[in-house]
């Protein structure tokens, strides 16, 4: 599994290829949720830090977007290999700061890297098309880079969720300012190191840390052309409304409630296993966690009883911890 990750890391901002302490010099403790112990501290950024990061991304945009899609994808292909080679270290960081078990953490990394793979195929996927729709009318379908994109991400999947935005935005020619959750910044701090090793030019990828003030400064900045957000539904609405009031492109994803229906002919053993894994996996901190189970029973009620009994038995066997199977 490699060496254990450090437990006293100071997470600063990353702007224009440089590690940058926050202008305020203020930090927030990073807490391991499994032990309640402090494992580091993370920068609390202000509008001044955000402005510096956005300016760096804006300065890099012209040269980055002028590259061919193929050339940008080549950087991402190098990054993909680095993620694969460092998957265990990334997973250990996720365990340390998020608390999910090592199996779930490795899956977190693997799912994120799948989106990197998709981005590497964009030279074929975003070729566009030209249609001659009449004698003197031609329609062209193409994808143009916007400029600076802000990505604001949650704590529950420290690697996977940021990669719903980063690889696609980058390969399509945009520059990024990432704001990871202040609860789990260690994983993306390591990821920034991998982006550097992959050779991404300075300013193409930037990271600012912080809380509400940092997020609002990102959304309000006139040179941020699009915002992606994942978090709770109330905050997703706030982000969406704030972006739309500025006529700014926004994808804001909120929480989810999942209802399971077990029919009379269900496989009791398999269903019980899936139900427990659904709500208890990742300590329930994921959109796919089931919150309601509706059992459609037979006349005798045997299905309801046998399924509930097995769910209870399996739930009783859950062990707290971060090792595989816990």
Active site (catalytic) residues = 287
Report DSSP state, residue 155.
S
The secondary structure element, H or E, covering residue 168 is helix 166-171
* Distant-in-sequence, close-in-space partners of 44: CB < 8 Å, separation ≥ 6: 22, 24, 26, 27, 28, 182, 209, 210, 211, 213, 214
303, 262 contact by CB (below 8 A): yes
Nearest to 31 by CA among 136, 155, 160, 139: 155
Count CB-CB contacts under 10 A for residue 5.
20
* Look-up of token digits 């070729």: 127
Phi/psi for 240 (5° steps) reads -60, -45
d(C-alpha 58, C-alpha 79), whole Å: 22
Strand ranges, E, within the chain? 9-11, 13-15, 18-20, 27-31, 38-43, 129-134, 137-141, 148-152, 175-179, 205-207, 224-230, 249-253, 258-262, 290-295
Assigned token pair, 21: 């302490």
The pairing of beta strand 148-152 with beta strand 175-179: parallel
């Amino acid at each position: 599994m490699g060496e254990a990750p450090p437990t006293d890391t100071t997470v600063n901002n990353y702007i224009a290829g440089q590690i940058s302490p926050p202008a305020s010099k203020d930090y927030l403790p990073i807490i391991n949720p499994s032990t309640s112990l402090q494992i580091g501290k993370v920068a609390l950024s202000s509008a001044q830090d955000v402005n510096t990061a956005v300016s760096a991304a804006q300065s890099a945009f012209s040269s980055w977007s002028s590259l061919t899609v193929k050339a940008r994808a080549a950087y991402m292909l190098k990054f993909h290999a680095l993620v694969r080679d460092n998957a265990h270290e990334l997973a250990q960081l996720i365990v340390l700061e998020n608390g999910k078990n090592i199996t779930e953490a490795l899956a977190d990394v693997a799912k994120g890297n799948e989106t990197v793979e998709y981005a590497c195929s964009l030279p074929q996927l975003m070729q566009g098309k030209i249609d001659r729709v009449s004698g003197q009318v031609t329609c062209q379908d193409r994808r143009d880079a916007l400029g600076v994109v802000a990505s604001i991400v949650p704590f529950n999947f420290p690697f996977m969720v940021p990669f719903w935005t980063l690889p696609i935005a980058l390969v399509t020619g945009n520059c990024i300012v990432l704001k990871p959750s202040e609860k789990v910044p260690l994983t993306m701090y390591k990821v920034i190191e991998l982006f550097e090793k992959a050779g991404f030019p300075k300013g193409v990828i930037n990271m600012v840390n912080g809380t509400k003030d940092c997020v609002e400064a990102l959304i309000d900045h006139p040179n941020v052309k699009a915002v992606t957000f994942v978090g709770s539904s109330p905050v997703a609405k706030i982000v969406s409304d704030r972006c739309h009031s500025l006529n700014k492109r926004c994808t804001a994803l909120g929480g989810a409630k999942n209802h399971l229906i077990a029919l009379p002919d269900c496989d009791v053993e398999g269903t019980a296993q899936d139900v427990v894994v659904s709500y208890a996996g990742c300590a329930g901190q994921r959109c796919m966690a089931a919150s309601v189970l509706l059992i459609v029973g037979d006349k005798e009620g045997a299905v309801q009883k046998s399924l509930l009994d097995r769910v209870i038995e399996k739930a009783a066997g859950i062990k707290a911890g971060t090792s595989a199977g816990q």
